[in-house]
Amino acid sequence: MRAVPARNSDVDACPGALRLHQAADGPLARVRLPGGLLTGTQLTSLATLAAEFGDGHLELTSRANLQLRALTNADPTALATRLSAAGLLPSETHETVRNIAAPPLADATLRTLVAALDESLCADPALAALPGRFLFALGQVPLFPDLSAIPTNDSFTILFAGHDFGLHVPADAVVPTLLTAANAFLALRAETARPAWRLHELPDGPALVAARTASALGLAAATLVRTATGDEAPTVVGVVPQVDGLIAVGALVPLGRLGGEALRLLATARRLVVTPWRGVVVPDLTAEAARRWARALDEVGLPVEPTTRWAGVTACAGRPGCAKSLADVRADADSTSTYSDGLPVHWIGCPRGCGSPSGAHVRVEATPAGYAVTRQPDGETFTGDTAHAVAAARRN
């Protein structure tokens, strides 16, 4: 269970492709990628926009989306038109609520469900009111979704903020069930005076939304029994077999900044998957093609070895991109990080903790007196030299 934070405002300021965020280095656009999926052609379009309007880089987020930074030269109308032409902005009204996660190696069934959920979500006018942080998931992901559909034998288990209330549906009922639950969340949210962006922020929200969903589906709410369920998913790095016999190659993008030769190489792929651990996967390859891609990715600075020093290391934007940051956290993470097979570590420039992992991790927070190193969620503190404190905290 997660502690429910105090929410002082119900104003949803999550950036999108139309609603730009005014960062210290200029306007920022976030492009949603349901399931993390995009084509090489779409990546080429984004790279062109980043070079023409921004700083020439793409930024990977913890939800497997992409951001364009420093858009000081951007015409918002032209930006939206070109994103739409690339198939990256299918709905102006729902663009910030297309938050759908899936495993990077999702099979054909899950990929089909991602597309169907995205289309149906955009077709429901009421769901344009979902907060920009509300998250759907199809399959196990290393995030904390509000609503999940997890394959179990010949059906799908619907989870409500990670809780299993015993609601199981066939594949063809997954999308209608998730949409019903999302509408139930909005109705419950409207009934309470407490601002909420996420399901777990509503008092007994998971149980109440589960009961309303079951009722709408004609099931007896009394049969629902709460079971806490964690969302776990392995990191996809290196050459990995797919369930269909083909092969995928996963690489990490150091500190989530993608540009230069690495960006140009990835744009030649037919299909790509952006991952929540700020990596990329090139899927559906033959064995020989996988070997070529692994070599090429490593040569352009995208490590494909699980023992790379970038394994489990992430950071917020930090200085100079964020005015609230007290340090250039990316530079400090770069100069400090070494390989560890322990907990992931996330560097942040202020207490907001943007991009922090949802599970146990090491938090390295910039303060006026230097970096504070703590293990989350228990808050255990580690002192001394930052590099040694981080190394000690990562060890389980």
Task: Quick: pLDDT tens for 151-160.
Answer: 998 999 999 9
Do 202 and 192 form a contact (C-beta atoms < 8 A)? yes
Do 273 and 249 form a contact (C-beta atoms < 8 A)? no
Check pLDDT > 90 for residue 195. no
Instruction: Supply the DSSP symbol for 128.
Output: G
| Residue range 122-131: mean pLDDT, rounded | 97
Task: Quick: pLDDT tens for 323-370.
Answer: 999 999 999 999 999 999 899 999 999 999 999 988 899 999 999 999
Task: Quick: pLDDT tens for 266-322.
Answer: 999 999 999 999 999 999 999 999 999 999 999 999 999 999 999 999 999 999 999
Task: Quick: pLDDT tens for 275-286.
Answer: 999 999 999 999
Average pLDDT, the chain: 92
- 379 CB neighbour count, 10 Å cutoff: 8
Encode 297-359 in three state secondary structure. Answer: HHHCCCCCCCCCCCCCEEECCCCCCCCCCCCCHHHHHHHHCCCCCCCCEEEECCCCCCCCCCC
Task: Quick: pLDDT tens for 221-267.
Answer: 445 566 666 545 668 999 999 999 999 999 999 999 999 999 999 99
Going from the C-alpha of 210 to that of each of 85, 93, 143, 180, 221, the distances in angstroms are 38, 27, 20, 10, 8
d(C-alpha 167, C-alpha 229), whole Å: 13
Check pLDDT > 90 for residue 52. yes
Residue 388's Cβ-side half-sphere holds a number of Cα atoms within 13 Å equal to: 3
| Residue range 38-51: mean pLDDT, rounded | 97
Extract the tokens encoding 350: 């202020």
**For the CA atoms of 286, 288, 294, 296, what is the dihedral angle to 10 degrees?**
-120
Check pLDDT > 60 for residue 9. no
Specify the pLDDT at position 100: 98
C-alpha R_g of the chain: 21
d(C-alpha 259, C-alpha 61), whole Å: 15
Check pLDDT > 80 for residue 7. no
| Residue range 142-168: mean pLDDT, rounded | 95
Q: Alpha helix locations (H) across the chain?
A: 40-53, 76-85, 108-123, 174-191, 205-216, 260-266, 287-299, 329-336, 386-394
pLDDT confidence band for 73 (50 / 70 / 90): confident
The answer for residues whose C-beta is within 8 angstroms of residue 190's C-beta and 6 or more apart is: none
Check pLDDT > 80 for residue 4. no
Do 66 and 46 form a contact (C-beta atoms < 8 A)? yes
| Residue range 103-131: mean pLDDT, rounded | 97
| Residue range 184-211: mean pLDDT, rounded | 94
Instruction: Supply the DSSP symbol for 378.
Output: T
Please state, for a pLDDT cut of 90, what percent of the chain lies above it: 86
- 352 CB neighbour count, 10 Å cutoff: 13
Specify the pLDDT at position 374: 98
Specify the pLDDT at position 6: 45
Residue 44 CA, distance from chain mean position: 21
Please state, for a pLDDT cut of 70, what percent of the chain lies above it: 93
Residue that wins the pLDDT comparison between 231 and 147 = 147
Specify the pLDDT at position 193: 79
Check pLDDT > 90 for residue 86. yes
